[in-house]
Structure 1
Amino acid sequence: MADELTPFLTALPKADLHCHLLGTVRADTFAELARREQLDLPEAPETIFASINSRPPDPELYRSTRIPMPQGRSADEPETSYSLFQVSEWVREVLRDADDLTRITYEAFQAAHAAGTWHLEVSFDMVPEHLAHLGYARWVEAHAEGIRLAERDFGMTGRLLAAIDRSGTGEEALEWVRTVTAHPHEYVAGIGLDNLETAGPPERFADAYRLAGQAGLGRTAHTSEHVPAARNAVTCLDVLGCDRLDHGYFVLEDDAVVARMREEQVAFTVASTTSRRSWRPWRRASILAMLEAGLNVFPCSDDPGMFPTTVLAEYGILAEAGVPVQRLTEMARASFVASWLPEPQKAEVLNRFDALVDSLR
């Protein structure tokens, strides 16, 4: 980012609302845990992290998008690539007890704090088989303890989102949400729909989302990220009842949908940086087009430990692309408005935000 903007953007309070917990794990933490567990890996853990580069889906899907999609490899792609999903699975394998879960949660908040984040919402997955002995309640409490420690040490706030894997069935998702709602926790504020959008349409998960809404949980979903159409974003609003949307770049394919999103000021969490390195220029162009169209977008870190990036870096990318400071400030404020903090706490944070921004000006 431009040097003169660095102090301002660092001090600018930010809420990061789209962040996958496994994707926050640092290379050095993964290396330590992988060696502890003697995980059989094809290369050194540090080399694997430096070589994360997910291959895009079938390029034929993206031949005629409004913002041209790069079709070839990018200059920064490593010779040997590891997909984000494969590395995430390896990270999952080396997590062995509640202390590991608390550690990675705390470290996620520690890194976010260094980037000027005041509020962080992280997604956690279903309990894997090798940690089934913890049960859901202890699984969530281990993550929550990491947040409590971060709140104590950094003065931050945080919440958890229960992630639904869209490569599974609607019945599996419903059972997962039943588990979540049967064990309410003060830090579990909502649900999200993750994984490749090409795995299937979001309406398969309508029952799970309906149950979450009845329980008072917030709802979001990855949408219009991999399928080059706007229809899934509309489904997420009208069928799943989402409060905000993750990504959403392909809403630009439909002018009527763009107009609706602008009129309703639907909140989108966006990230210029992705594990699909060849897509990064397209992502940045899409976000700028969404801003130009008047959509309510604000940066997130997504998988900051693995890309790698930070929410500060994501604001910096937009600043370098010419987004004015006033607009960046409005985006930061909008991120708090869209958060799933309780309303009294949200109002307090927004008052603090306004006072600090006035002093920075």
Structure 2
Amino acid sequence: MAENKTTTRVSVPKVELHCHIEGAAPPSLVKRLAERDGIDVSRIISPDGKYIWSDFTSFLKAYDLASSVFRTPADYGLLAETYFRMLAAEGAIYGEVFISPDHARAGGLSYQSYVEGIAAGIERAKIDTGIEGRMIAIGVRHFGAGSVERVIKEVLAFQHPMVTGFGLAGDEREGHPANFAKAFRMAKEAGLGLTAHAGEFGGAESVTAALEFLGVSRLGHGVKAIEDKALVRRLVEEGIVLEVCPGSNTALGVYPVLRFHPVNLLRRQGVRITLNSDDPPFFRTTLGKEYSSVAETFGWSFEDQLDVTLTGIEAAFCDEATRQRLRVRLDSAKEKLDA
């Protein structure tokens, strides 16, 4: 290629591995469903249609209230279809979303109804856009080991082909990963891909603990690993993939600005990283913005961004036939670039 640009006329194919389905809800959709059921969301949605929160605690409260408007399988289907269409419009060819059976239960939905609703929405988006989608069921660590084990038992009792992974989210400061080892063993024996949030608000030690006790191949965030050189070497040697969410990290104050974020340093040291949006409308970001802002800030070329997408494809919790189709689509974009 004659020149090295961070942007190009050819759209970068994108892959997302870290996004919470409830956290992907556009404020406009939340407001519409809230008005239908007489729910007051004015304290979390501004007159100009933006989510309102000021710190991590108020973010969680806003997240829970926004999630509460999704009450039926059809509601979740609409949410999933809306989000996957948005992803596809930004050039995404594959997306995985975290699903929270605990949120579904709080809204009166069974696990099966919840999953079937989301799956229907993903399928509708795929028919029109070609985007592939999968789900990762997550347990919430601050609800305790019993709650996390209940989630994996629900997953195993109703095995849906789109639910291909199991993970751990929630407050990293509560509950040592050892407490959840049984749930992760059950998930591994069932053939599910494993990931866990660590190294976001917890330090490098939280990353080490997740690796030691949960047997994950991916880590949600994981960026605080940069604080431990030996741990960074371990991530490289074991091929652990980090689901990095720079916009989320800066919005929540984990890092003050993007140029201080360690995503570039981690990648330069050989750590396998992907780019993700986490809870995009809450953090006023999108997957496309994550790619473009990181590329602009750190001078990543089109080829660098393609490499990030390839890492996402290789780390995805999907079957090999789907993975190969995604590789073909990525190769097609490379050919257009070289032409």
Q: Secondary structure at the match of 2:40?
A: coil
Residue 287 (structure 1) aligned with residue 231 (structure 2): no
**Residue 5 to residue 252, structure 1, CA distance change in 2 (3 Å):** closer
Aligned-pair CA distance for 1:149: 0.4
Aligned to 1:350: 327
Aligned to 2:282: 306
- Which of 184, 190, 198 is the matching residue for 1:215? 190
Question: Within 1, Cα distance between the matches of 2:44 and 2:243?
Answer: 33
Aligned to 2:126: 151
Aligned to 2:46: 46
CA RMSD of aligned residues (A): 2.1
User: Are the equivalent residues in 1 in contact too, given 2:255–2:261 (CA < 8 A)?
Assistant: no
Question: Within 2, Cα distance between the matches of 1:168 and 1:316?
Answer: 36
Normalising by structure 2, report the TM-score.
0.91
5+ residue gaps, structure 1: 57-81
Aligned to 1:359: 336
Aligned to 2:222: 248
5+ residue gaps, structure 2: none
**Residue 286 to residue 49, structure 1, CA distance change in 2 (3 Å):** farther
User: Are the equivalent residues in 1 in contact too, given 2:44–2:62 (CA < 8 A)?
Assistant: no
What CA deviation, in whole Å up to 9, does each residue of 1:82-110 have, x standing for no partner?
83211111122211211111000111101
Aligned to 1:272: 246
- Which of 245, 258, 261 is the matching residue for 2:235? 261
Aligned to 1:330: 307
Q: Secondary structure at the match of 2:232?
A: helix
- Which of 75, 82, 85 is the matching residue for 1:110? 85
Question: Within 2, Cα distance between the matches of 1:231 and 1:173?
Answer: 21
Aligned to 1:168: 143
Question: Within 1, Cα distance between the matches of 2:42 and 2:286?
Answer: 28
Quote the sequence identity (%): 28
Residue 239 (structure 1) aligned with residue 213 (structure 2): yes
Q: Aligned runs of 1:31-180 on 2, under 5 Å?
A: 31-41=31-41, 43=43, 45-47=45-47, 50-55=50-55, 83-127=58-102, 128-129=104-105, 131-132=107-108, 134-180=109-155
**Residue 264 to residue 129, structure 1, CA distance change in 2 (3 Å):** closer
Question: Within 1, Cα distance between the matches of 2:305 and 2:54?
Answer: 29
Aligned to 1:20: 20
User: Are the equivalent residues in 1 in contact too, given 2:194–2:218 (CA < 8 A)?
Assistant: yes
Question: Within 2, Cα distance between the matches of 1:239 and 1:149?
Answer: 38
**Residue 317 to residue 185, structure 1, CA distance change in 2 (3 Å):** same
User: Are the equivalent residues in 1 in contact too, given 2:27–2:51 (CA < 8 A)?
Assistant: no
User: Are the equivalent residues in 1 in contact too, given 2:258–2:297 (CA < 8 A)?
Assistant: no
Normalising by structure 1, report the TM-score.
0.85
Equivalent residue letter for 1:239: F
Aligned-pair CA distance for 1:180: 0.6
What CA deviation, in whole Å up to 9, does each residue of 1:200-253 have, x standing for no partner?
32221111111000111111011111112x222222223211121111111111
Aligned to 1:185: 160
**Residue 283 to residue 271, structure 1, CA distance change in 2 (3 Å):** farther
Question: Within 2, Cα distance between the matches of 1:220 and 1:241?
Answer: 8
Question: Within 2, Cα distance between the matches of 1:283 and 1:268?
Answer: 18
Equivalent residue letter for 1:299: L
User: Which deviates the most, 289-298 or 252-261?
Assistant: 289-298
User: Are the equivalent residues in 1 in contact too, given 2:45–2:52 (CA < 8 A)?
Assistant: no
User: Are the equivalent residues in 1 in contact too, given 2:226–2:232 (CA < 8 A)?
Assistant: yes
Equivalent residue letter for 2:218: R
Aligned-pair CA distance for 1:183: 0.9
**Residue 268 to residue 278, structure 1, CA distance change in 2 (3 Å):** closer
